[in-house]
Amino acid sequence: MSDGYSVYKSLADNHPGITSACCWSHAGRGFANLYKASREPRAGVELRKIAGLYRIEKLIRERPVEKIRQWR
């Protein structure tokens, strides 16, 4: 999981055992900036979705790894 820096994608593309995933915190920042600048309603919707994902992560944090994988 990374911030989307292109080197990480390149690394994952060249190593089959690596799966690239982007960070919700960085994605959320873009939506937050858009919402602050324009009050774009769709940005607000996406921010609420991301907040929901964080709530789920908090609930499952102490669960066994396999259960966490199932939730995700």
* pLDDT of 32: 96
In which band, very low, low, confident or very high, does the pLDDT at 58 lie, cut at 50, 70 and 90?
very high
Q: Where are the domains of the chain?
A: 23-71
Q: Provide DSSP, 17-59.
A: T----B-HHHHHHHHHHHHHHH--HHHHHHHHHHHHHHHHHHH
Tens of pLDDT, residues 1-10: 777 787 888 8
What are 10-21's pLDDT values in tens digits? 888 899 988 888
pLDDT at 34: 96
CA distance 70 to 72: 5
